[in-house]
Amino acid sequence: MKEEDFVETVTPFKEVIDEIKQDGGEAVKYCYQCGKCDSVCPWNKVRNFSMRKLIREATFGLTEIENEEIWRCTTCGKCPQKCPRDVKQIDDMIAVRRMATSYGVFPAAVKPIRGVSSNLGAEGNPFGESRKNRADWADGLSVKTFEEGMEVLYFPGCYLCYDPRLKKVAKATASILNKAGVDYGILGEQENCCGESIRKTGNEEMFKKLAKENIKTFIENGVKKIVVSSPHCLHTFKNEYPEFRANFEVVHITEFLFQLINEGRLQINKEYAKKITYHDPCYLGRHNGVFDEPRGVLTKVPGLELIEMSESREESFCCGMGGGRIWMETHTSDRFANLRLKDAIDLGAEELVTACPYCITMFEDSRAVGNLDDVIQIKDITEVLNEVI
């Protein structure tokens, strides 16, 4: 029996295979079941999970879209970099989720994404907060509305605009940009979610809607260069919006700060006598190759001792919230962030510093749940820098 015949006779979901193949996921058929993906997957530190098995099932059209397992991959990027057959595990899982989404099949833990989707449609953010309040974080700070000709557009993203913990990061960023004399502005009410996480849940329609609205706004406002705080916005604007023939210069705040320091626009004039470790967010490091700039910023700070966790840079351990998992329910015992926080504590770090709103949210939750407030602090890199300039 040929593979095609097998598919026709066995699977009730031939569309899954077609979707995967359309997605450049032809490579599923090259999987030779070596299991390297499973050996590096963070899920296997908290429970049994097999990407190898999911790829096998997808290859033969045996995917069960009711299966909660298809929603587990956090798209951390660890297994694609180890796979000897160049299988596109992430694209394939998103294709499978697209099928589940189109049939409206969501297991209980995944159901919250339906509310997220309607919030995005109504207010342009996943929380269902009013669009009108999007720039409230900047009240009392000298933050202008973006105008054509400004050096950069600063795009804080949903978490930094609405979440009380992450608003502190937006404020620290604005304070640094002000001190460095950067000519920047924000879009305020005109800013929309970048659409990254909802795309990973298989809701392509909502992603396209958000992307098109953002691109239109950028073009109408004469935006050329965008500085983002979230590695997820970075990834989407830089690598996915070009699918719509939109090409803007996009840099992550850590890259921009490193440049400002090197150009002498930002003077560091205080000590930060602490032992810290840096966590590479998956979408900043593995997916976009930004490893050196955050470390470059931190090592310029006098008194700061930077120590590395064993799983760092390309081998960094995922916080667990990529791939749209941030909107799904994760059992306490399945939280990757608990393990990552333990790595940092075991290393003797006083602070775990990172550069992603999802990572900060997860680590802060793990710190609260573990009663670790006196043991370790969680900081965004901008919060560290803002204290020493």
Site for ligand SF4, rule CB under 6 A = 31-37, 40-43, 51-52, 55, 73-79, 83-85, 87, 89-90
Cβ-based nearer residue to ligand SF4, 73 or 233: 73
Q: Toward ligand SF4, which CB reaches closer, 76 or 290? A: 76
**Amino acid symbol at 385:** L
* Closest CB to ligand SF4 among residues 200, 379: 200
**Quick count: other Cβ atoms within 10 Å of Cβ 204?**
17
Q: Smallest distance from the beta carbon of 347 to ligand SF4, in angstroms? A: 23
- Cβ contact 331:207 at 8 Å: no
Residue 91 or residue 191: which is nearer to ligand SF4 going by CB? Answer: 91
Which of 50/221 has CB closer to ligand SF4? Answer: 50
Q: How far is the CB of 282 from ligand SF4 (least distance, A)?
A: 8
- Is 212 within 8 Å of 193 (Cβ atoms)? no
CB 336 within 8 Å of CB 326: no
DSSP string, 9-62: HH-S-HHHHHHHHHTTGGGGGG-----HHHHH-GGGGTS---HHHHHHHHHTT-
Residue 366's CB is within 10 A of a number of other CB atoms, namely 24
Least distance from ligand SF4 to the Cβ atom of residue 385, Å: 30
Cα distance between residue 73 and residue 321, in whole Å: 10
Q: How far is the CB of 153 from ligand SF4 (least distance, A)?
A: 31
193 closest CA partner among 164, 236, 157: 157
Closest separation between CB of residue 279 and ligand SF4, Å?
16
Backbone angles phi, psi at 275, to 5 degrees: -95, 115
**Smallest gap from residue 110 Cβ to ligand SF4 (A):** 16
Closest to ligand SF4 by CB, 36 or 131: 36
Of 82 and 265, CB closest to ligand SF4: 82
Q: Which among 204, 214, 248, 203 has a CA at the least distance from the CA of 124?
A: 214
In the complex, what is the shortest distance from the CB of residue 327 to ligand SF4, in angstroms, rounded to a whole number?
Answer: 16
CA distances from 382 to 175, 264, 265, 275, 308 (A): 9, 17, 15, 17, 19
